[in-house]
Structure 1
Amino acid sequence: MLDTLWLLSFFLPTLGAQILISCAYKSLCELALLSGNDVVLQCDHPRALWYFSSIHGEDGLLLSSMSNVKQLPGGSLQLTNPQPSQTGLYSCKDNDNFLVVEFEIDFQDITTLHITHKDLGQKPLQNETLNLGGTVLIFTHWEPWQDCNRCGEPGEHKRLGYCYIKEPLEKPMPCRLYLREEKMQFSRMRPELQVESCLVPCNPSQEINQPYFIFDIYQPGKLTNNVWLTCPLASIYR
């Protein structure tokens, strides 16, 4: 039997080994993130109380009951290895139950990540229209390209994209936040990673900004004698 070990390397803004997410005071911030990546939700209140409401509409649950959630000194919330099932609303309140900040997050499934290299002729996912009681557009919202990983010689840079849905004349929303309690799943509902070749001059005074994580998505079985290592982001340059 042959198992596959996927080694995924991708760029995300980081604080140490965590993604730091901040939002303005008393505001609601909607965003999409990849599952499996540790996240810190910033809330600057020493007596903060955190509540979670899923996209299925349940009342807020005090987050101290979740095993992969930890409140940090100062009030911020750390989520370790968050899963798509933890998509929902995270509310930080003070000890008088007044709102400090809210985050509505779609943790998109990293195991479905669609990876393409522009210079190998590989195409990203195409936009699609869906009929959900009206016509909506499902598309990829791309983050900026990261820095080239080399200077003075051919290199590569990467960018992440997330699944979003948009109604005509309305603000786009991350896919699961738009669908909410609707138990729909479309093949187009996937995050993306795009790779492209680059060639930039060297600047000794400028440090290359290319932080990224490495994740093991599947582990080989204990009884497996052979393992096939697949590295979808390996450089095409030797």
Structure 2
Amino acid sequence: MLAALCLVSFSFPMLWAQTFISCSYKSQCQQALLSGNDIVLRCDHKKALWYFSSIIGENMVLLNSRPNIKKLPGGSLQLSDPQPSQAGLFRCEDDANGLLVEYEIDFQDATTLHITHKDLGQEPLQNETLKLGGEVLVFTHWKPWQDCNRCGEPGERKRLGYCYVEEPLETPMPCRLYLRDEKVQYSRLRPEMQVEGCFVPCDPDKEIQQPFFIFDIYQLGKLTNPMWLTCPLASIYR
């Protein structure tokens, strides 16, 4: 009988299962995010109606039956495994068609993620100039470093960077929101992730005891065929 090498179980903290994106009341917010990672667009209205228009300028359509989109009881919109093709404008209205909030989102392709480790001397992508009628600057807009993944011992932390375009004297925009339906084959137009080592002391006051739910257990052996293991509700944002 084949001896098992290990048992792999998947669990997650129940209170941190969702990544919420918020925007001020009656405002429009532009956001770059990564494809394949679940998010919730916040709209606090129980009778909210959600509309969508793609980045190529199609008419707004009511979001009522999409396989990976679900309106939550409080009115917010949950997107599971969003894809680059779903980049565009998400508009939340009340039942009298009044604007509540708008999100213009560029879901940048996670499969093209450029990953570097700072402590290994690996360099992130450099700023470059792209000619589209005039010259524009393509650069990475870095988010803050996330928390260290361990305490009391050496660990690692990461930060995400998104592709942005800036025209002279203009406000920078996420790349696909700027390009819209422009067909550009350019390897610099992709997101990044940078990793570095970290060490932080443990702080008992910040330790939160949360219940965990085990989704599944896999038994792996020497003759196990290659497998793709997915952790439900895992997110690169945490």
Give the letter aligned to residue 177 of structure 1. L
Q: For 1:72 and 1:206, how far apart are their aligned partners in 2?
A: 30
Residue 85 of structure 1: SS of its match in structure 2? helix
Q: Residue 106 of structure 2 corresponds to which residue in structure 1?
A: 106
**Partner residue of 1:42?**
42
Q: Which residue of 2 aligns with 1:22?
A: 22
Aligned match of 2:196: 196
Corresponding residue SS for 1:52 = strand
Alignment correspondent of 2:233 = none
Does the residue aligned with 1:163 lie in a helix, a strand or coil?
Answer: strand
Aligned to 1:182: 182
| Distance in 2 between residues matched to 1:90 and 1:133, nearest whole Å | 29
Shift of 1:60: 0.2
| DSSP-derived class of the 2:36 partner | coil
What is the CA-CA distance between 1:178 and the residue it aligns to? 0.6
Equivalent position amino acid for 1:16 in 2: W
Query: Which digits, 9 at most, give the CA deviation of each residue in 1:129-185, with x for residues without a partner?
Result: 111111111111111011222334322111111111111111111000010121223
Secondary structure of the structure 2 residue equivalent to 1:205 = helix
Give the letter for the 2:71 counterpart: Q
Which residue pairs with 1:5 in the alignment?
none
Aligned twin of 2:167: 167
Distance 1:171 1:15 in 2: 36
CA RMSD, 1 decimal: 2.1
Structure 2: unaligned runs, 5 residues or longer: 1-13, 209-223, 229-238
TM-score, length of structure 2 as denominator length: 0.79
In structure 1, the residue matched to 2:219 is: none
Mapped contact 1:18–1:37 kept (Cα < 8 A): no
Q: CA deviation at 1:80?
A: 1.1
Which protein is bigger by CA-based radius of gyration? 2
Contact 1:109 1:190 in 2 (8 A): yes
Q: Are the structure 2 counterparts of residues 114 and 228 from structure 1 closer, same or farther at C-alpha, using a change threshold of 3 Å?
A: farther
Please give the secondary structure, in 2, of the residue aligned with 1:159.
Answer: strand
Alignment correspondent of 1:149: 149
Seen in structure 2, the aligned counterparts of structure 1 residues 15 and 141 have a Cα distance that, compared at 3 Å, is farther
**What is the deviation of 1:228?**
9.0
Change (3 A) 1:31 1:114: same
Q: Which amino acid in the other structure matches residue 29 of structure 1?
A: C
Cα separation, 1, equivalents of 2:47 and 2:147? 39
- Distance in 2 of aligned mates of 1:204 and 1:108: 37
**What amino acid does structure 1 have at the position aligned with 2:58?**
E
Distance 1:58 1:99 in 2: 19
Partner amino acid, structure 2, of 1:206: K
Q: Could you tell me how far apart the structure 1 residues matched to 2:82 and 2:23 are? A: 19
Q: What's the CA shift string for 1:50-89, capped at 9, x where partnerless?
A: 1100011110011113221111112111111110000000
CA contact (8 A) 1:17 1:38 kept: no
- Alignment of 1:91 with 2:91, yes or no, is yes
Aligned residue for 1:62?
62
Q: State how 1:109-148 maps to structure 2 within 5 Å.
A: 109-148=109-148
How many positions carry a matched residue from both structures? 201
CA distance in 1, matches of 2:137, 2:17: 34
| Amino acid across the alignment from 1:149 | N
TM-score scaled to structure 1, two decimals?
Answer: 0.79
Percent identity for Structure 1 against Structure 2: 72
CA deviations over 1:185-205 (Å, ceiling 9, x no partner)? 310111111011123334333
Change (3 A) 1:15 1:62: farther
Name the counterpart of 1:74.
74
The offset of 1:118, in angstroms, is 0.8
Distance 2:143 2:207 in 1: 20
| Structure 1 gap segments, 5+ residues each | 1-13, 209-224, 230-238
